[in-house]
Chain A
Amino acid sequence: MPIRLQREDFDAAAEAAALVGTRTDIGAVVTFTGICRGAEDGAPIAALNLEHYPGMAETEIACHVEEAQARWPLMGVTVIHRYGRLTPGENIVLVVTAASHRQDAFAAAEFLMDYLKTRAPFWKQVEHAAGTQWVEARAADDAAAERWSTQRRSRQAAE
């Protein structure tokens, strides 16, 4: 399964190895792991609670994986997003992309992460000494996701 939503941890190295398997046409594998930080805005945190919209989260991620596959000649993609209570140091998200050449693998991994941040129905709540607080969406994340559609529009205009 290339897309998984789960409470359990994942093993990034094992996922990358599984994606490549015995193939010898893959020349580049990019593995991105998002990890729970121990502090937000300088204040220590106890945990992150990740809420998601079951059903929609899978289809939304699948839609962007398909788009990544249409944009770059990928030989494999794995996306794992955890939900539930995660403590500092724990893995949150994994994106693995495989291609013949590194540029495609890097670009597709970055594209997928930018979209996961702004379009996948997940919400982070920070747990700290004073209580809980929902993480606010960052304008920088919207801008990061938006640049991919700008690139697409300019590419379409050039064609």
Chain B
Amino acid sequence: MKIVYFAWVRERIGKPEEEIEPPAGVVTVGDLVRWLAQRGEQYAYAFENPKVIRAAIDRSHVTPDAAISGATEIAFFPPMTGG
């Protein structure tokens, strides 16, 4: 699946998007955050405070308990500051 990052999450990880294949045990968005966080220093830094990370599946907001199966694009980003 495709993962996209925005704002300081993107800066900390050092790339705007990537293709990943998480292992079978990664079921929810929360699981995915924990799995990504252990992929290296940059990921650990980006996800050091999971509570502030917001997520979207296929361009709709989701909560950490959302299932990732069937997702085409999952986005991670900080709280939004538009308007």
A interface with B by C-beta (< 8 Å): 34, 50-53, 55-56, 59-60, 81, 92-93, 113, 116-125, 134-137, 141
Contact = CB atoms under 8 A, between A and B. Distances in A.
A113 to B, nearest CB: 6
Contacts of A122: 80-83
A136 B81 contact: yes
The winner among B4, B56, B59, B80 for most chain A CB atoms within 10 A is B80
B83 A117 contact: yes
Contacts of B8: 134
B80 A120 contact: yes
A128 B24 CA distance: 45
Contact of A117 (B7, B77, B78, B81): B81
Interface in B26-83: 56, 59-61, 75, 77-83
Contact of B80 (A34, A93, A113, A137): A137
A28 B24 CA distance: 56
Contacts of B59: 53, 55-56, 59-60
Question: Chain B, interface size: which category?
Answer: 10 to 19
A97 B54 CA distance: 29
Contacts, number: 71
B78 A137 contact: yes
A53 B56 contact: yes
Given A125-B7, A137-B79, A141-B83, 10 more contacts: A34-B83, A53-B4, A53-B75, A81-B83, A117-B81, A119-B61, A120-B80, A120-B82, A122-B81, A123-B7
Contact of A53 (B77, B79, B81): B77
Contacts of A119: 61, 80
Given A55-B59, A123-B6, A118 B80 contact: yes
Question: What are the 9 closest A-B residue pairs judged by CB atoms, nearest first?
Answer: A122-B82, A137-B79, A123-B7, A56-B59, A117-B83, A116-B83, A135-B81, A120-B82, A124-B81
Contacts of B80: 117-123, 137
Nearest to A56: B59
Contacts of B82: 50, 52, 81, 93, 116-117, 120-124
Contacts of B75: 53, 56, 121
Nearest to A32: B83
